[in-house]
Amino acid sequence: MTPPPLHPPPGVPVNLTCRHLPGATLIAVAGQVDTTTSAQLEEYIDQHRVRLDEHLIIDMSELSFLDSSGLAVLLAAAMLARAHGVGVHVTGLQSMPARLLEITGAERAVTIYDHVEQAIAAVADLDLVNPSEHA
């Protein structure tokens, strides 16, 4: 049995969608994030985060590949969120991206949930605890 390739085939796109929720921006990432698509992810996050004091939920349930450039985008978003008193919540990690977060220690910079609904509920609970945060 041949192991899967370490790098994605060239030209595999990333698909990004956004939904604004009370107290959070939800961005779904599908496909692969590598050196050819990480800038696209970074720009998308920057353009769609309406308020920096709102949580960022990133649904990675359809993300099959994440390299260090994509990880850098995730960590930069986490640092910016932390500076504004909120967090980055990652959901639906597949095995390869999950392993990258684990071996680099990046999993400590974000909150990880199995399902997007769990992250949405957690953010709603956080907003109930700190309602003035988004007034």
Q: Which amino acid is at 30?
A: A
Residue 7 falls inside a structural domain:
no
Residue 1 falls inside a structural domain:
no
CA 73 to chain centre: 9
Given a cut of 80, whether residue 102 has pLDDT beyond it is yes
Residue 4 falls inside a structural domain:
no
Residue 8 falls inside a structural domain:
no
Q: What is the CATH number of the domain that holds 76?
A: 3.30.750.24
Which residues pair with residue 90 across a beta bridge? Answer: 58, 112
What is the distance between the alpha carbons of residues 1 and 23, in angstroms, rounded to a whole number? 47
Given a cut of 50, whether residue 24 has pLDDT beyond it is yes
The whole-number average pLDDT for the span 13-18 is 94
Domain that holds residue 123: 14-129
Residue 5 falls inside a structural domain:
no
Which residue in 118, 96, 102 sits closest to 26, CA to CA? 118
Domains in the chain, number:
1
Residue 88 falls inside a structural domain:
yes
Given a cut of 50, whether residue 124 has pLDDT beyond it is yes
Residue 2 falls inside a structural domain:
no
What is the layout of strands, in order, in the sheet containing 55-66?
14-21, 24-33, 55-66, 88-91, 111-113
Given a cut of 60, whether residue 11 has pLDDT beyond it is no
Query: Which tokens sit at 111?
Result: 């909150």
Residue 134 falls inside a structural domain:
no
Given a cut of 60, whether residue 10 has pLDDT beyond it is no
